[in-house]
Structure 1
Amino acid sequence: MTVFAEFRVDVGAPVSLGDDGFGLARIVPILGGTVTGRTMAGIILPGGADEQRVRADGLTRIHARYVIRLEDGALVRVDSQGLRHGPPEVLAALQRGDAVDQGRIYFRTVIRLETSAPEHDALNRSLYLTSGQRIANSVLLTLTEC
C-alpha cells in the first residue's frame, strides 16, 4: 500500500467523564492541524473531538470526528475509528507526555472521508487505514488507501 496522506491533528487536554463500568470515558478536543498528501492538502478545523474509551488493561477505543478544509475550499468530514494499546509502562510514559518508542505502541484506525464537492468525489469511495503516533499535543496519522 502507498501513502495517501499525512494528518497532523492538534489536540487539547482530555475531558474525563469517569468510569461507567465499560472503561474510562473521555473526550479529547481537536484544536486544528494540517493535511498533506498526493491529491489533497488543507487544514483541520477546530471543533472536532476524539471520543475515547480506556479499559483497565490499557486498550483505548478511539472514535474521532472532525472536518478538513482543503486548499480549494472544499470541506471533508473525517470519521476515524480505531485502537491503541501497548505495555503499561509505555502507555504511562505517553500519558505523562514523555517521548516513547512508537514501535512499542499499536495505534491503528480506519478513516472514512465524506465530501459534497464533486471534484473530490473519489474521497467518498475509499477507506483509509492509518498508523498513528501521539507526539506531545499532536497525533500524527499516516493514511494508506485500502
Structure 2
Amino acid sequence: MAGTIDEHETEHLTPSLEHVLDLDIEVADPLVVGDTGDGERRIIQITDGTVSGRLNGHVLPGGADYQLFREERPTELVAKYAFETDGGARVYVENRGIRVTDPEDSRRLRDGEEVDPEDVYFRSVPEFETADPSLDWLSDSVFVATGIRQPFGVKLAVYRVG
C-alpha cells in the first residue's frame, strides 16, 4: 500500500540511550508555600552533591527544586541548579520531570520517608547550558533522566538520546 511505513523502514528511527553521568544531589528541608489550588507548592534548596561519569565534579549550592506536590496526580518537578566540573567548567541545569506513585507512597515521599524506588515512576528531561566550548555536546543533545528520591537527596542517572 502506498504511503505506509512498515516496521523494517522505521528501525533507524528507534533512539538509543547513552549513559553520560550520575548526579547525587543533597537537599535541605522543604520550604512549604502551601496549597495553591493545584497542589502543595514546595521549594527545596539544593545544597551540595557530586557529578560522576563522562563528567566529574560537584553540585554548587544555591539551586532549588520547585515542586507541585499532589497525592492523586503526578508531582511536577522543576529543578534549577549548577555544577562545576573538576576542570573548572560551570554548567547550568534546568530539569523538568514528574514523579508518580500511589497516594500512600506519595505522602511518604513528601514527609521525607524512604519508598522503594521500584514503586515510583520518576523521570525527567534535563537541559544544560555552559560557556565551555568543550562541553557543547551538553547543549547540542537531548537528555532524559531516571531518579530516586531519598530522605535527604536525589540520585539521577542521565542519558543522552541518540
TM normalised by structure 2 equals: 0.85
* 1:21 paired to 2:37: yes
What is the distance in 1 between the residues matched to 2:115 and 2:34?
Answer: 26
Deviations 1:24-72 (A, max 9, x none): 111000001000012x110000000001111351521000000110111
* 1:45 paired to 2:60: yes
- 1:120 aligns to what SS in structure 2? helix
**What does residue 24 of structure 2 align with?**
8
Matches within 5 A, 1:1-146: 1-38=17-54, 40-146=55-161
What is the distance in 2 between the residues matched to 1:26 and 1:135?
Answer: 16
Which stretches in structure 1 are left out of the alignment for 5+ residues? none
Deviations 1:56-96 (A, max 9, x none): 51521000000110111010000000000101122233334
The one-letter amino acid paired with 1:130 is: A
CA contact (8 A) 1:113 1:127 kept: no
Which has the larger Rg? 2
- 1:43 aligns to what SS in structure 2? strand
CA contact (8 A) 2:71 2:106 kept: no
CA contact (8 A) 2:22 2:158 kept: yes
CA contact (8 A) 2:71 2:103 kept: no
Which stretches in structure 2 are left out of the alignment for 5+ residues? 1-16
What is the distance in 2 between the residues matched to 1:101 and 1:53?
Answer: 21
Q: Percent identity?
A: 36
Residue 56 and residue 87 in structure 1: after superposition, are their counterparts in 2 closer, same or farther (change >3 A)?
Answer: closer
Q: CA RMSD in A?
A: 1.3
Instruction: State the aligned residue count.
Output: 145
What is the distance in 1 between the residues matched to 2:40 and 2:103?
Answer: 16
